[in-house]
Structure 1
Amino acid sequence: MAQTAVRRQLLQMRRVQSDEARGQPHDENHERFVHLRQCREIGLALQGLPWHELGMLLDCLYLGAFRVTQAADLLRNLVLAQAGDEADWIRQSLANIALATQERDLYIFMGLAPRHLGKADLAPSAKDLAAADAACPGWSPEGWSIDGAARILALLAAPRNRAFAERFKDLRRTADVAELIALYRGLPLYPEPDSLHFEVGEGLRSNIKAVFESIAHRNPFPRDHFDDHRWNHMILKALFVESRLTPILGLEARANPELARILVDYAEERIAAGRPVPQDLWIPLKPFRDDRAVAAILPREEAVQ
């Protein structure tokens, strides 16, 4: 309970450092007041924690929030660099969204982004990709469309006058497929990630393969935030919709005994029916190769490695 409260407060405290990049104005006296009030709230939330645990927790949360801010700044720079003559439109639109008291500007931007920017993929350099991974381990903007990336920037620019998960839910409900893909690809960059589990579940249940893969593929959010039950469900659905497992980050690291049992049953059914077993299914089974049931179905070349 205390850790959740602290995480929420520290993420809010990072707002001061990211506001300038998002076009949101400052009030220095107000910021000092908010900072002091948040420090008091953090102190109350942390009462009773040992000092060594307190230090480790604060270091972890501070660094995590800072890295997310770095990732968002990198994404903004990529979009602006590729936007050409539309860069000023993006800057002005993000500033308007940050200052707006209602969400009309946010929804208008979501709809207009493809018209102004097109739908070409971003073109990050090797240096950009390395910086992305350093800022948010496992995150990569490679393969993202410029309009989708701009939509994520707009959502990040929106004022924090309501819960992020509520705003995300409203956008999801009215989004077309391209917007849904963009929204879910942005998961690693959003504040309050623990509040988004219901919305992520809605995406995993989607009948649209591309929407499912925007969460499952090349996205560190499942690796970092799913419990074993949801993780296992995602892996099993990927198999049923014939989505590759290899692009799932953490596929071997998040292997667990229950998943191994599920995959053994799945493989046995495929083998009995004379159907091929996807080769990447063996990746999350490797840590359990000494298990009798797993060893019985692993290909011989896999079992001896």
Structure 2
Amino acid sequence: MEQNAWLTEAVAKVSAEPKTIVRLFASAGRHCADPVAARTRLLLALPADVLPHWIDDLYRHGDNSEKLAVLSALPELPLGDEAVPLLHDAVRANDTRLLAAALGPYARHLDQHAWRHAVLKCVFLAVPLENVADLDERADRELTAMVAALRAEREAAGRRLPPDALRLLDSVP
């Protein structure tokens, strides 16, 4: 079956019977050239009243590619802050793709303390800060103090911070 036809049929199935998303979400990687976009379409097909349950279930039981798809879709879904626990989980993981996705536009729901620590982890793991949504607006003195302390630690060990982290230090007065 052609991937567009597969996806169209899968979206219709999820709209009619939400529990089918479990099987279809997992198999999107085999049927679609862009599984993240396909999985986003499947999530968008879910009725709003069951959406929080299914995104949590799909994330918690999914492999890292499925988790990435859930995190990437969050900004497009009709949600409030229900999925913030998923961001916390992604930040604790050591998969840099999940960390970067967790700091996309939906990260506006993270409190400032958690957001700062997630950004610091990006610096520590050399995740490009261009992946951090609203960095210029949310960066504050406390974040720069944390990054400066990491820089001092790295320099004492003969290592350097990534260039975008150095720019971050220069951007906050």
Q: Which TM-score bucket, shorter chain as reference?
A: 0.7 to 0.9
Structure 2 residues not aligned, in runs of 5+: none
Q: 5 Å matches for 1:114-133? A: 114-117=29-32, 119=33
1:245 to 129, 132, 135: 129
Rounded to whole Å, the distance in 1 between the matches of 2:112 and 2:170 is 17
Q: 5 Å matches for 1:230-241? A: 230-241=114-125
1:159 to 47, 67, 74: 47
2:105 to 206, 209, 220: 220
Rounded to whole Å, the distance in 1 between the matches of 2:96 and 2:142 is 25
* Structure label with greater radius of gyration: 1
2:68 to 161, 178, 181: 181
Partner of 1:276: 160
**Do the aligned residues in 1 keep the contact of 2:101 with 2:131 (CA within 8 Å)?**
no
Sort the Cα spacing of 1:112 and 1:242 in 2 relative to 1 into closer, same or farther, 3 A.
same
Name the amino acid aligned to 1:95. Answer: A
Detail structure 1 runs of 4+ shifted over 3 Å in the superposition.
none
Sort the Cα spacing of 1:242 and 1:287 in 2 relative to 1 into closer, same or farther, 3 A.
closer
Sort the Cα spacing of 1:267 and 1:159 in 2 relative to 1 into closer, same or farther, 3 A.
same
Q: 5 Å matches for 1:76-225? A: 85-100=2-17, 103=19, 105-117=20-32, 119=33, 146-162=34-50, 164-216=51-103, 219-222=104-107, 224-225=108-109
**Aligned pair count?**
173
Q: TM-score, normalised by structure 1?
A: 0.52
**Do the aligned residues in 2 keep the contact of 1:203 with 1:212 (CA within 8 Å)?**
yes
Shift of 1:263: 1.4
Q: TM-score, normalised by structure 2?
A: 0.88
**Do the aligned residues in 2 keep the contact of 1:156 with 1:190 (CA within 8 Å)?**
yes
Shift of 1:161: 4.1
Identity fraction in percent: 28
- RMSD, aligned α-carbons: 2.0
Shift of 1:251: 2.2
